[in-house]
Amino acid sequence: MQPDMVEWNSWPVLALVYASKHSRTGLEDDILEKMRIAQEQDPENLYLAAHYLDQRAQRGERIEDEAPKQKWHITDFIAADPKHQEQNHPNIYRTTDLRKQLNDEFNSGAAQTLVSRLKPLQCHFTWDLGLSRSLLLRCRDNLLDIGTENGNPWLGHIYNLRGFIQYRLGFSEDSLSFFNKAKQAFCKIRSTDEGPWLVVNNGNLAWLHHHLGDQAESEDYLLKVDALNKKYTSSSQTELHPETYAEKAYTLMAFNGDINLVADYFQRAIEMQPDMVEWNSWHVLALLYASKHSRTGLEDDIFEKMRIAQEQDPENLYLAAHYLCQCAMRGESIEDEAQEALKNHPDEPYLKRHAALCYYEKRFICSDSPPKKSMLNRAVSLHQEVLFNSYATYLHLQNQDRKMSIRCHMKAAAIPHQSFFRKNSFKVLENIRDKGRDRMCGEIRKCLANLQEP
């Protein structure tokens, strides 16, 4: 009777879409065609536009180029003043309940579509890491041990890990900061603002913004991931990009994942991109860790790979420490090498721990002669100076146990070996003494008076 009323046609089409949700067969092709025609005739109907894009996305069509153009319009439409909407769309907002129903319908559909596109991403949020809180805390502390010095080729990966850990521990703002630092680190290390190494980072940011409720920002990072995947394709459609394999392997290793899977991922990355020295180093370390579950121990060929990798990547202190330990277990003299490593890197706690282990394995496991007292003292002190200083800091910051914290600093300062940790504890004690406000100032003065200043 009145076929020229465009809006009357648009909303019956939407009614057919809503009805199809209760159908086993879903939306029929003829209804989708009616949606297309209605959307062309009624381009100002933003609910129709949103549902039409959603239906096309569910059918596998790429709508990225069209969705951003509509995004702010749709947002404005939902948030706009109801009276203004009623004037321009008289058939829509007859009741408050209908307005709420349509708003909820749009938000729910958009969120479901976004999540369906987030799930296939390769990033920390989609990798099945199976993490407990205790493991998260332990991994966080291990990453703090590694540090964030410039030049570390894994700095971007470390920041990605720390960002994900902070999110899982409930610190979303810290998480965002670390993910942004990861991007900066990648760009600085690779000397470019774009590359396949940002796929995982952008995926993390897409998921994080989704969880924070910023769907528009999440959508932007999704588009960045799609653009990178198109530009930097893998050599095979069934394989990930080598940069993704390497980061996934590094992540699994950090979280004590399947070490054989770690070795496999590194191997795949190296086969596709063999010039990455640091990938080879960590592949060798993965083989070493896997050998600990072997009855035959470390095979000679893996030990030889360690030697070659250590020569090619001399700045990898993890590799250097493990190599020294393996040399010690084979009866080789490593005292000079260990002392040289400690001299060049005096403030690296994990190197100290492994050096102490080397002393132990060399003198207690691989030697028939009794250990020298000086060697025993050196091994023990290397562990103690790290332990006491770190525990003192923990007690002060986390447990608020100031008295016990001071006692641990006194123990660290009393160890007769020069190191960052002893210096740090010594300085803390001096500051407390100089302020003169603590009840333990008398004990601190006596302690410091009997010690040689570092």
Give pLDDT tens digits for 298-312. Answer: 889 999 999 999 999
Three-state SS at 333: coil
C-alpha 267/C-alpha 272 separation (Å) is 9
Domains of the chain by residue range: 6-118, 133-231, 242-315, 381-449
* Domains 133-231 and 242-315 fall in the same CATH topology: yes
pLDDT in tens, 147-166: 556 668 899 999 999 999 99
**Encoding tokens for residue 131?**
């993490």
191: region left, alpha or beta (phi > 0 left; psi from -120 to 50 alpha):
left
Contact 218, 71 (CB under 8 A): no
- CATH number corresponding to 242-315: 1.25.40.10
* Fold (CATH) for 133-231: 1.25.40
Q: Who wins on pLDDT, 26 or 274?
A: 274
Total residues belonging to the chain: 454
Compute the 3-state secondary structure of the chain and give helix, strand, coil in percent, each to the nearest 5: 70, 0, 30
Say which residue the tokens 């008295």 belong to. 403
Q: Which of 49, 82, 79, 83 is nearest to 66 (CA)?
A: 49
pLDDT of residue 57: 76
What pTM was computed for the model? Answer: 0.60
Give the confidence band of 368 by pLDDT, cuts at 50, 70, 90: very low
The DSSP secondary structure of 31-64, one letter per residue, reads HHHHHHHHHHH-TT-HHHHHHHHHHHHHTT---T
Q: How many CA atoms lie within 13 A of 390 on its CB side?
A: 14
Q: Is 209 exposed, middle or buried (0-12, 13-18, 19+ CB in 10 A)?
A: buried
